[in-house]
Amino acid sequence: ETGVTQTPRHLVMGMTNKKSLKCEQHLGHNAMYWYKQSAKKPLELMFVYNFKEQTENNSVPSRFSPECPNSSHLFLHLHTLQPEDSALYLCASSQAIAGLLGETQYFGPGTRLLVL
């Protein structure tokens, strides 16, 4: 068991909808991440949070809005998405973030998103 849960597991939404993805980690970690995994493209880092503070926004469009109310929860708010945003969205957590040397990231199972 990875200790990182994501809901919902599957989501279909129209381009005008607003939805949110939720991630929760039960590992006592301080850093949390959002990744996007598309077919035929490498896993892309979107956002990084360390002790609830955003430390990285990897040039992600503003239609994706992250929120980290505490070290255990991470949300990704979605609005006016495009069909090309359809992908698997993965959440991960790690104990520390000061360099990734030897640091293990634990991934959740992902939310499979389809934008129509």
Partner 1 sequence: TQLLEQSPQFLSIQEGENLTVYCNSSSVFSSLQWYRQEPGEGPVLLVTVVTGGEVKKLKRLTFQFGDARKDSSLHITAAQPGDTGLYLCAGAIRSGTPDKLIFGTGTRLQVFP
Dist. CA 32–CA 14, nearest whole Å: 27
Judging by DSSP bridges, how do beta strands 4-7 and 18-25 pair with one another? antiparallel
Q: Is 99 in the site for partner 1 (CB under 8 A)?
A: yes
Scanning 13-21, 38-46, 64-72, 76-84 for contacts with partner 1 by CB under 8 A, the matching segment is 38-46
Q: Is 105 in the site for partner 1 (CB under 8 A)?
A: yes
Toward partner 1, which CB reaches closer, 15 or 56?
56
Matching residue, tokens 């790690």: 94
Closest CB 4 distance from partner 1, rounded Å? 7
CB 82 within 8 A of CB 41: no
Q: Coil, strand, or helix at residue 89?
A: strand
Dist. CA 84–CA 29, nearest whole Å: 32
Q: Is 56 in the site for partner 1 (CB under 8 A)?
A: yes
Scanning 12-20, 68-76, 79-87, 104-112 for contacts with partner 1 by CB under 8 A, the matching segment is 104-112
8-state DSSP, 103: P
| Chain residues that interact with partner 1, rule: CB under 8 A | 2, 4, 31, 41-45, 48, 50, 55-56, 90-92, 97-102, 104-110
